[in-house]
Amino acid sequence: MYRQATFCEPLLKEKSVAGRTGYSLPEPLGEPVSIPQSLRREELPLPELSEVDVVRHYTRLSEMNFGVDTGTYPLGSCTMKYNPKITEELSTLFSGFHPLQDESTIQGCLEVLYNLQEYLKLISGTAAVTLQPAAGAGGELTGALIIKACQKGRTEMVVPDSAHGTNPASAHMAGFDVVEIPSNDQGTVDLEALKSAVTERTAGLMLTNPNTLGIFEKDIIQIADTVHDAGGLLYYDGANLNAIAGICRPGDMGFDIVHFNLHKTFSTPHGGGGPGSGPVGVCEKLKDYLPVPLVDYNGENYYFDNDLPMTIGKVHGFYGNFQVAVKAYIYAVIMGSDIRTASQVAVLNANYLAQNLRDHYEMPYQPLRKHEIVLSCEKIKRETDCRALDIARRLLDYGIHAPTIYFPLIVHEALMIEPTESESKEELDRFIEVMIQIKNECYTTPHMVREAPHNTAVGRLDEVKAARSPVLAWNQI
């Protein structure tokens, strides 16, 4: 069993002691300045703490958190792979440079950006790449805005019912009406439904392949033809690229626009929620719509190219989450052709779990998966009243992070499991063993499951209360 550290760690404000300080600052230059009365701040209600206080506080908080470095983290769709430490270390070499420095003084930064653009083009089969979007959803919005800019008069975006919530949300933000199409009984795009959904109003289709069930859309060429024949564009949500990187390419499947989640496929850490990076690649005919600037090379120097006639504009204050791009670049340089091995082993690991769990949990749709599998706890729920959420919480007691739950929406009581290539066979075997054990618990000691977790820093939290009477800052306590 596992036991997470528990500290009844007070809030910073509760730890504050009047007069205490934690910083060191130099002497000012020149004369004191007078701030006009109307602008001057009188009250500054911040805590007062020493460096030691701050360090203990955050060290304790960190011990009440669980990361990939702590243990198995099979969070489906999130590609929680190991984050190589060398990329952390080397990326800090770039931390002191300013985005507006003269180009002649930042050739190294530009080289990284340029090379990463080229690498992503190669791996995705696209013609040009922007690194500006700060995360996957930012990439989707960028892509949707490109579609809007070149598909004037077309108002609808088609999205399968298995899609991630950011797809319809991004399409809507770009001003599209979202048309949802149902999946077929194989869990893939229903070609007939797609054919009847596409019209002269269709601007495009947003799709991930393999899809959110981990199933490869084998009719992808027909899907692409259907959308293209109707005058639409095909958008690739790259959240699931870890299944196919180095094996096949979205560009070759007919996708016109592709986003990457560098914080998934290219191993940059998720930071407890961010920062990520969501570059976007486009086919030849959409190159001129990308946000500016791109980084280009004239044979001698790297430079910013602002000269894109149809550009949609800018989607980040500067060039996106540069440091994340650096880490992804270093990862790509390290891995080289082994990026394919990573995908192969990610797929092997997922199918190994599928084979070993299929007899214990329902797994709707076909057995062969790519990098992730989706199990259903519906039968267990019916028979034991233990839900997917309870099973997820119970996993925590064993020191294993829970899978993604209740997504995709088309599987009831879904557990979406993505082991990635980082898990060893021993860890996978343990996961299988624990999953089977929890299933047995559902039938023998269901309260242990329904009341889980028991071994984490706190017991099960009341989310309804949190939403009903929100306390979102300490001044509301």
Residues that bind ligand PLP (CB under 6 A): 77-78, 135-137, 164, 166, 208, 212, 237, 239, 261, 276, 278
324 binds another protein (CB under 8 A): yes
Measured in Å, how far apart are the chain's first and last C-alpha atoms?
35
40 binds another protein (CB under 8 A): yes
Residue whose CB is less far from another protein, 247 or 383: 247
- Pick the binder of another protein from 72, 78, 160, 203 (CB under 8 A): 78
- Pick the binder of another protein from 160, 187, 232, 246 (CB under 8 A): 246
Instruction: Compute the least distance from the CB of residue 23 to ligand PLP, in Å.
Output: 34
171 binds another protein (CB under 8 A): yes
Using CA atoms, how far apart are residues 99 and 288, in angstroms rounded to an integer? Answer: 23
Q: What is the DSSP-derived secondary structure letter of residue 183?
A: B
Q: How many CA atoms lie within 13 A of 142 on its CB side?
A: 35
Which does residue 16 bind out of another protein, ligand PLP, none, counting CB within 5 to 8 angstroms by kind?
A: another protein
Could you tell me which stretch among 171-179, 192-200, 223-231, 438-446 binds another protein (CB under 8 A)? 171-179
Contact yes or no for 174/219 (Cβ under 8 A): no
Residue whose CB is less far from another protein, 379 or 425: 425
- The letter for the amino acid at 309 is P
315 binds another protein (CB under 8 A): yes
**Which of 156, 169, 136 minimizes the C-alpha distance to 232?**
156
Cis peptide before 453 (omega within 30 of 0): yes
Using CA atoms, how far apart are residues 427 and 440, in angstroms rounded to an integer? Answer: 20
- The letter for the amino acid at 354 is A
264 alpha-carbon distance from chain centroid: 6
**Which of 356, 384, 361 minimizes the C-alpha distance to 374?**
361
Which does residue 45 bind out of another protein, ligand PLP, none, counting CB within 5 to 8 angstroms by kind?
A: another protein
3-state secondary structure string across 332-383: HHHHHHHHHHHHHHHHHHHHHHHHHHCCCCECCCCCCCCCCEEEECHHHHHH
Which does residue 367 bind out of another protein, ligand PLP, none, counting CB within 5 to 8 angstroms by kind?
A: none
Cis peptide before 275 (omega within 30 of 0): yes
Using CA atoms, how far apart are residues 400 and 393, in angstroms rounded to an integer? Answer: 10
Instruction: Compute the least distance from the CB of residue 2 to another protein, in Å.
Output: 9
Contact yes or no for 440/434 (Cβ under 8 A): no
- Pick the binder of another protein from 232, 238, 293, 320 (CB under 8 A): 320
- Kindly write out the interface string for residues 401-420 of this chain, putting x where it contacts another protein by CB under 8 A and - elsewhere: xx-x--x-------------
Which residue has 């399409």 as its token pair? Answer: 171
- Pick the binder of another protein from 182, 192, 199, 218 (CB under 8 A): 218
The strand pairing partners of 130, in sequence order, are: 280
**Interacting residues with another protein between 343 and 402 (CB under 8 A):** 344-345, 347-349, 351-352, 355, 368, 370, 392-393, 396, 401-402
Residue whose CB is less far from another protein, 22 or 379: 22
Cβ of 471: how many Cβ atoms within 10 Å? 10
**Interacting residues with another protein between 283 and 312 (CB under 8 A):** 291, 297, 299-300, 302, 312
- Pick the binder of another protein from 72, 128, 136, 255 (CB under 8 A): 136
Residue whose CB is less far from ligand PLP, 156 or 372: 372
**Interacting residues with another protein between 10 and 39 (CB under 8 A):** 11-13, 16, 20-26, 28-33, 35-36, 38-39
Which does residue 310 bind out of another protein, ligand PLP, none, counting CB within 5 to 8 angstroms by kind?
A: none
Instruction: Compute the least distance from the CB of residue 285 to another protein, in Å.
Output: 20
Instruction: Compute the least distance from the CB of residue 294 to ligand PLP, in Å.
Output: 21
Which does residue 208 bind out of another protein, ligand PLP, none, counting CB within 5 to 8 angstroms by kind?
A: ligand PLP
Using CA atoms, how far apart are residues 27 and 21, in angstroms rounded to an integer? Answer: 16
Token digits for 102?
A: 């003269």
1 binds another protein (CB under 8 A): no
104 binds another protein (CB under 8 A): yes
Using CA atoms, how far apart are residues 236 and 226, in angstroms rounded to an integer? Answer: 15
262 alpha-carbon distance from chain centroid: 8
- Pick the binder of another protein from 1, 185, 359, 462 (CB under 8 A): 462
SS3 160: strand
- The letter for the amino acid at 113 is L
Token digits for 88?
A: 């952390």
Number of residues that bind another protein (CB under 8 A): 201
Which does residue 114 bind out of ligand PLP, another protein, none, counting CB within 5 to 8 angstroms by kind?
A: another protein
